[in-house]
Structure 1
Amino acid sequence: MRIEIKDQLQRVIRFEDTPKRIVSLVPSQTELLCDLGLEGYIVGVTKFCVHPQHIKTKTTIVGGTKQINTAKIKPLQPDIILCNKEENNKAIVDECEQICNVHISDIFDLEDSYELIRHYGILFQKENKAEEIISEIRKEAKDFKLYIENKPNLKSVYFIWRNPWTVAANSTFINYMMQLNKFENIYKNKKRYPEIELKEENNAELVMLSSEPFPFKASHKKEIKKFYPKAEILLVDGEMFSWYGSRLIKAFRYFKWLREHL
């Protein structure tokens, strides 16, 4: 069964048959593969692939998202390596393309997420399951849109790193998810993930400290509070704001819970 598809960078990839040996270099995509029923096809993952919890014990760990070990990947004889433009740099993609076909995702909003899920459905002959997952996400997103409709906008900051202090700004999936939550990003005029100097910001109403990639803890709330004296400081689940696969089914329920606890 010949398969030809363009990935989300519009690169054409071709297969003579359904790829059956998968290396995933993106945690949220690893979870999506498993939810599509493809766990048995996965032969390699990153050390950050934590959902499902047992996946790292059943596959080979081939590195992180920013550094990989091709000496571990090659013996796995993968048919396809799954990457993401933001998570995996060009050098990693170039290395992977010396081994086999590479599919690259590029996600900015829900429509991009749906497209990626459909791509995997086509690539791995899981079209029906892919549409089922998309349908579930659409339902949760629709319910959340109704829920959030009359909630107030909150001027917000979303931290992803400490020393240097780094926030999520425009042109990111996190910023898109903030918009859905009516969390107005104070740094929406900046792009991607700018480093900032902490200073007193009296207009911020909500400051979110993400659980990833930097693992913010309760102790950091006191550290940040003096710079945002009028804001509520919250530890938030970074997976819910940044994972764009099947995790989205759970994300909108989490966002409801988050609003209820503001």
Structure 2
Amino acid sequence: MVAKPGQVHLGRGQDLAKLVNIDKLTGGRFRALVLDVTYPAKHGAAGMEKALAKLRDTAEKAVGKYNVLILSDRAVSRDRVAIPTLLVCSGVHHHLVRCGLRTSTGIVVDTGSAREVHHFALLAGYGAEAVCPWLVFETLADMAPTLNVEAKEAKKRFVKAINKGLLKVMSKMGISTYQSYCGAQIFEAIGLNSAFVDEYFTGTASNVQGIGLAEVAEERIRAHREAFGPAPVLANALEAGG
């Protein structure tokens, strides 16, 4: 579950690289650990719960040695499935809270799934102190030539847009700083059963019951198979997502 550093606030790529090697920049006062949030696809949906448990246990044991935990899904591939980012972020966050260790470390999410303001707001609300949307940055770099803009400028504009969106979201709740919003989980779950919410999204209201981890895992496995499958119709298609 521990990734190699070489594999891997709204961070740009170079910012994350500095964070991964923060021990060299601070003389060892701060240390970061990259945790791989993917697991073998051959384990199927049933493997997600075990992967989450192992990840939370690894995070708990790492807190004494590391000040920053980086949850990264960059290892996702045909053979490895990424655990849903919000699920793993909130799961690790609340596990550390229950262990009395949360204030001893920071959580950074390095993900390919975050792309809209709401995605970042959710991750922040459930404990992420910083987010690096690596797939967005790679996509912008690839698209930049067709947009008549430099990749660096495209990334800068994206970060600015997301930051302004987050400020708007926070201001509507009467919150003026990211620190106050981080971990506040001002959300209500719809269609998730109580057992699932209590375990991974502790304290979140869930008045309309529904699916649990098993269904979430099945949906993720299905999406993974479609993404890496041979079907030409799906090869270049984007899921509507709602």
Which one has a bigger Cα radius of gyration? 1
TM-score of the superposed pair, with normalisation by structure 2: 0.29
Q: Which has the higher contact order (CA 8 A, sep 6+)?
A: 2
More helix by share: 2
TM-score of the superposed pair, with normalisation by structure 1: 0.27
